[in-house]
Amino acid sequence: MIWFWQHRNLLSCSLNRFYQAIGISRQGVHDMLNRMQRNQEIEASMIQLIRKIRDDHPTMSLRSMFYKIQPNDMGRDRFEAMCVSYGYQVQRPSNYKRTTDSSGVIRFPNRLEGLAVTHVNQIWVSDITYFEIAGKYYYITLVLDAYSRFIKGYHASRSMETADTTIPALQMALKEKSLPTGIIMHSDGGGQYYSKVFLSITADAQMENSMAKEAYENPQAERINGTIKNNYLRHWSIQTFNQLEKALDRAVMLYNFEKPHKSLKYLTPSRIEGRSYFYKANQSVRGSKAKLETTS
């Protein structure tokens, strides 16, 4: 460290000569690195969505998948090449095991391995799923307490951007009063879960980030996605994104406060959390709808 401070001016001059030699400014290098990280996050996020779609549609072609998703940040050729590189073409090898680790993205260890779930606000799990309306995909992000099964935060969005998915869902969950430090935030390897903004929020909340390498390592998040979509949303006539937002509000309320769980000895998640609720008309939130208020 002493050597560094003694020679810092020399190092700075050397770096400046290096930048001049390659014909790019220091700011240009930083911008390039930020773009590379951004592209890695987009690719990792897209792969998680493609995996879910491939599970539901085993024979859908990559071309059809591209036009179904209509990604804003990726062209058709790059999308198809990425899918092939990850083994998501229709006739992919059965022993293909590549994960997003190989792309050089940030990955946190799976902190749930061997850990017993013993209390509320010990572990939160999260995932992003898609919901199709009139041939267009929208996205739902959920944050679930692993012990109480209470959905702490949720958000419906038109895009897969971090600002539209994990950020608002996590911010909703963190509005709860008197949260302890050290909550484990467990997720898959999607880029929305290791973006700079998301990690700054978990750091400020003194949470511990945890990631699954495979879908089976995040089973509760996968399960709650299916429950909200298949047990609630798909039974209602949802024709627009605004209707999806309102339906998601309703689905989460019913799940949290009215659905007994066998794994909870037929109590509701709200009973485990010690919450009660009531409705109050609120015209300022998404028009005329019932607003859920909770008390601990």
Q: What is the pLDDT of residues 85-130, one digit of tens each?
A: 877 776 544 433 333 343 445 678 899 988 999 999 999 999 998 8
Exposure class string for 265-281: b at 16+ Cβ within 10 A, else e: eeebbbbbbebeeeeee
What pLDDT shows up at residue 214? 75
- Other CB atoms within a 10 A radius of the CB of residue 26 amount to 12
Q: Which of 91, 115, 139 finishes a domain?
A: 91
Backbone angles phi, psi at 48, to 5 degrees: -65, -40
Of 278, 275, 272, which Cα lies nearest the Cα of 292? 278
What is the Cα–Cα distance from 194 to 158, expressed in whole angstroms? Answer: 20
Q: Are 153 and 127 in contact (CB under 8 A)?
A: no
Residue 218 domain flag: yes
What is the Cα–Cα distance from 292 to 285, expressed in whole angstroms? Answer: 11
What is the Cα–Cα distance from 55 to 51, expressed in whole angstroms? Answer: 6
Residue 108 domain flag: no
| pLDDT tens figures, 173-209 | 999 988 999 999 998 877 788 888 999 999 999 999 9
Residue 193 domain flag: yes
Exposure class string for 102-111: b at 16+ Cβ within 10 A, else e: ebebbbbebe
Scan for tokens 């013993």, then name that residue. Answer: 118
Of 232, 280, 155, which Cα lies nearest the Cα of 292? 280
Q: Which of 42, 72, 91 finishes a domain?
A: 91
Q: What CATH number should be reported for the domain holding residue 149?
A: 3.30.420.10
Residue 55 one-letter amino acid: D
What pLDDT shows up at residue 118? 93
Same domain, 148 and 221: yes
The pLDDT of residue 285 is above 60:
no
Residue 255 one-letter amino acid: Y
Residue 96 domain flag: no
Q: What percent of the residues of the chain are helix, what percent strand, and what percent coil, each to the nearest 5? A: 50, 20, 35
Of 76, 68, 73, 70, which Cα lies nearest the Cα of 44? 73
The pLDDT of residue 135 is above 60:
yes
What pLDDT shows up at residue 33? 67
Same domain, 134 and 7: no
Question: Average model confidence (pLDDT) for the chain?
Answer: 78
Q: Are 41 and 192 in contact (CB under 8 A)?
A: yes
| pLDDT tens figures, 13-54 | 555 666 666 666 666 666 666 666 666 777 777 777 777 777
Residue 109 domain flag: no
What is the Cα–Cα distance from 11 to 181, expressed in whole angstroms? Answer: 40
Same domain, 133 and 242: yes
**Structure-model confidence comparison of residues 90 and 172, the more confident one:** 172
How far apart, in Å, are the Cα atoms of 4 and each of 12, 14, 16, 18, 257? 11, 13, 17, 18, 59
What pLDDT shows up at residue 144? 95
What pLDDT shows up at residue 75? 81
Same domain, 7 and 58: yes
Question: Terminus-to-terminus CA distance in the chain, angstroms?
Answer: 51
User: How many domains are contained in the chain?
Assistant: 2
Same domain, 192 and 234: yes
pLDDT band at 276 (very low <50, low <70, confident <90, very high): low
Q: Which residues contact 178 (CB under 8 A, 6 or more apart)?
A: none
Of 254, 261, 248, 260, which Cα lies nearest the Cα of 277? 254
The pLDDT of residue 3 is above 60:
no
Q: Are 227 and 255 in contact (CB under 8 A)?
A: yes
| Helix, strand or coil, per DSSP, at residue 184 | strand
Q: Which of 68, 91, 114 finishes a domain?
A: 91
Same domain, 68 and 149: no
pLDDT band at 289 (very low <50, low <70, confident <90, very high): very low
Same domain, 64 and 174: no
What is the Cα–Cα distance from 294 to 109, expressed in whole angstroms? Answer: 34
Same domain, 71 and 189: no
Give the range of the structural domain holding residue 247, as residue numbers without chain letter. 123-295
Residue 115 domain flag: no
Residue 249, both tokens = 């509000």
Same domain, 211 and 72: no
Residue 244 one-letter amino acid: L
Residue 105 domain flag: no
**Structure-model confidence comparison of residues 60 and 240, the more confident one:** 240
How far apart, in Å, are the Cα atoms of 198 and each of 67, 165, 269? 29, 10, 26
Residue 237 domain flag: yes
Q: Kindly report the pTM of this predicted structure.
A: 0.68
Same domain, 82 and 164: no
Same domain, 148 and 283: yes
Same domain, 191 and 138: yes
